[in-house]
Amino acid sequence: MKRAGTAAVLTFALGVVVFAATPDGDDQAAGIRRACDAYVSAWRANDRSAVMATLTEDAVLLPAHGRPAVSGRAAIERMWWPSDAPPSTVDAFRATIVEASAQGDLGFARGEFDLSFTYAGSKTEQHGTYLMILRRGPNGVWRISHRMWDDRIAQ
Amino acid sequence: MSIPRRTRALSGILALACAAGTASARAETAAESEVRARSRGVAAAEERLDVDAVMPFWAEDAVVHFAGAAPLVGRDSIRKMYADAFPKLKSFRGETTDVHVSSSGDMAWETGRTFSTRAQPPGAPASSGKYLLVWRKDADGVWRIAACAATANPNP
């Protein structure tokens, strides 16, 4: 059961991403798109440190399929990379940003994603929608503070 | 599994409530108070299962993401969602977990939980969900929901 659970959790984790161009040249929205791109690129590279760097310290994941919220970067990292389970690897990750908007130090992005990953030799695919909240830090860098996702096709 | 997935998701979407009991150690700004008041308003309308009372809280271009379906875009789609869901519910209640307003004072997020019970079959068990909202202060100075996503929570 652990294997299935770990795979599912990773699946949820990858639900997002970015980059469908938005029509305006707004710097804020561009910053959000960059943050989303960093998140996707990090997962595509299976780069744990890079993934975690895209999240705020107090980030909250709001997973699908009846799973509880996970709060804080440390808890999220333990969920995605449990110390007693083998790693999963992302094989393909495609996502679009349908909408990205920001005001002040707060913004959001939403869109759809298609994800494929392998865990212990078994491949899993997910197709879903996501909504993310992002926060701009004092250094001007946008990071993900909340992410909720679910299937876009009934399971 | 007595509660169909779609209805559970809809219940989650309806989850805009804002419980007064949400504790916060920090001082509440005027803008945050405005958002929480709006949240309590939509929660009360949802608890009454009143479609007409709920709709003014949504932005004209609002979007809803819920499980197993394409996003709902615009007030007409959202009204239809409520009109379909409310008659199937015996009760619905939302509870705010947290609210945060942007430094510019015109955008905010809200997280929370929902609790609902279907009207049929009699004695149907309660289900719960979690939600994430984006509030936007429109040009007329009124806070409205711009985006909402909802998913199921673990069953008790």
Residue A105 forms contact with B (CB below 8 Å) = yes
CA atoms within 13 A on the CB side of A75: 10
**pLDDT for the residue numbered B17:** 34
Q: How far apart are CA B98 and CA B22, in angstroms?
A: 7
Strands, E assignment, chain B? 58-66, 72-73, 89-101, 107-118, 126-137, 143-152
B61-76 confidence digits (pLDDT tens): 999 999 888 899 999 9
Chain A positions touching B134 (Cβ under 8 A) are: 108, 131, 133
Average pLDDT of the segment spanning A138-152: 94
The mean of the pLDDT values for chain A is 85
Q: Is the pLDDT of residue B12 over 60?
A: no
Q: Is the pLDDT of residue A19 over 60?
A: no
CA atoms within 13 A on the CB side of B111: 19
More confident residue, A5 or B135: B135
Q: How far apart are CA A132 and CA B100, in angstroms?
A: 14
A97-122 confidence digits (pLDDT tens): 999 999 999 999 999 999 999 988 89
ipTM of this model?
Answer: 0.84
Q: Which residues contact A149 (CB under 8 A, 6 or more apart)?
A: A12, A15, A16, A62, A63, A64, A113, A128, A129, A130, A131, B149, B151
Answer yes or no: pTM beyond 0.80: yes
Q: Which residue of B has its CA nearest to A154?
A: B68
Q: Is the pLDDT of residue B27 over 80?
A: no
> What percentage of chain B exceeds 70 in pLDDT?
82
Determine the distance from the C-alpha atom of residue B119 to the mean position of all C-alpha atoms in its chain, rounded to a whole number.
19
Is B104 within 8 Å of A67 when comparing Cβ atoms?
A: no
Please, what's the largest Cα pairwise distance for chain A?
47
A42-66 confidence digits (pLDDT tens): 999 999 999 999 999 999 999 998 9
B98-126 confidence digits (pLDDT tens): 999 999 999 999 999 999 999 999 999 99
CB-nearest to A146 from B106, B111, B146 is B111
Q: Do A104 and B104 contact (CB within 8 A), yes or no?
A: yes
- Please compute Rg for chain A using Cα positions: 15
What CA dihedral angle connects A18, A21, A22 and A25, to 10 degrees?
110
Stretch among A24-28, A107-111, A127-131 having the lowest mean pLDDT: A24-28
- Please compute Rg for chain B using Cα positions: 15
Looking at the complex, report in whole angstroms how far the Cα of residue A146 sits from the nearest Cα belonging to chain B. Answer: 8
Q: How far apart are CA B12 and CA B95, in angstroms?
A: 11
Q: Which residues contact A52 (CB under 8 A, 6 or more apart)?
A: A73, A76, A77
Q: How far apart are CA B144 and CA A48, in angstroms?
A: 37
What is the DSSP secondary-structure string of A70-133? EESHHHHHHHHS-TTSPPPEEEEEEEEEEEEEEETTEEEEEEEEEEEEEETTEEEEEEEEEEEE
Is B71 within 8 Å of A146 when comparing Cβ atoms?
A: no
Q: Is the pLDDT of residue A6 over 70?
A: no
Residue A23 forms contact with B (CB below 8 Å) = no
pLDDT band at A4 (very low <50, low <70, confident <90, very high): very low
pLDDT band at B154 (very low <50, low <70, confident <90, very high): confident
